[in-house]
Amino acid sequence: MAAAERSLRADARRNREAVLDAAAELFAQDGENVQMDQIAARAGLGVGTLYRHFADKQALRAAIIGRRFETVTRLAREAEEEDDAWTAFETLLVGYLESVEPDTAFRFSILSAEEPTWADIESEKDAFRTIMTRICRRAVEAGHLRADFDADDFILITRGAMANMSGHGGWRRHLTLQLEGIRVV
C-alpha cells in the first residue's frame, strides 16, 4: 500500500477503493471510453469525491496498475523463495499471468496505447521489478535462460501473453512457445 493511501482516513480509504473497483469494472467493460462521472456514479460517490482522489483518468489507471503491482510483488517474493532458479522464474511468470488474467482493467491499462502515469506508482513498480530482475538474473546465471535474457524480456513475454488473453486460454500456448524459445535445455 502506498504511503499516501495508508495516511487516508478510513472513510476516504473506503471511497478510494470504491472508485478503484468501479473504474476497474467500467474500464474492463468499455475501455478508454469510460467517463469520470460514470465511474463516480458506479462507486456511489459524487464526481468531486472522485477528483479529490484522482486528478484524471491517467491517475486512475495508474492506481489500478499500482494495486495489481502490490499483488504481483507478493507473488514475486514467494517465487524468490524457491530453491531452483527455473522453478522460481516459472512460478513468477505463470503466477503473474494467472493473477492478471481476470483483471481486464489492469491488462487494458498496461496494453493501452496511452502510457500510464508511472510517477504515481513508482514504488510499487520498482518493488516488483527489483525482485523480478533478481529472479531472471538467477535463472540466467544457473544456465536455465538464454544468456541475453533480462527483465525487459520478462515484460515483453507478459505483455504478449496478456494480449492473447481472450478467455480461451490461448495465452498459455503463447507462453509455452515463448518459454521453449528462451529456455536453455
Q: Calculate the CA dihedral of residues 31, 63, 22, 92 and round it to 10 degrees.
A: 80
pLDDT at residue 58 in the model: 83
pLDDT tens readout for residues 132-143 = 999 999 999 999
Residues 65, 59: Cα–Cα separation, whole Å: 10
Last residue of a domain, one of 54, 73, 95: 54
Range of the domain at 1: 1-54
Mean pLDDT within 8-20: 87
Residues 58, 60: Cα–Cα separation, whole Å: 5
> What is the grid cell recorded at 53?
482522489
In the chain, the number of structural domains is 2
Q: Are residues 180 and 91 in the same domain?
A: yes
Q: Are residues 20 and 44 in the same domain?
A: yes
Residues comprising the chain, all counted: 185
pLDDT at residue 182 in the model: 86
Q: Are residues 21 and 49 in the same domain?
A: yes
Does residue 60 lie within any of the structural domains?
A: no
pLDDT at residue 9 in the model: 81
pLDDT tens readout for residues 47-103 = 999 999 899 888 888 888 888 889 999 999 999 999 999 999 999 999 999 999 888
Q: Are residues 16 and 86 in the same domain?
A: no
pLDDT at residue 5 in the model: 52
Q: What is the mean pLDDT of the chain?
A: 88
pLDDT tens readout for residues 113-131 = 777 777 778 888 899 999 9
Does residue 59 lie within any of the structural domains?
A: no
- What CATH number does residue 4 fall under? 1.10.10.60
Mean pLDDT within 158-170: 85
Q: Are residues 99 and 132 in the same domain?
A: yes
Q: Are residues 41 and 91 in the same domain?
A: no
Q: Are residues 104 and 37 in the same domain?
A: no
Q: Are residues 105 and 47 in the same domain?
A: no
Checking if the pLDDT of 111 tops 80, the result is: yes
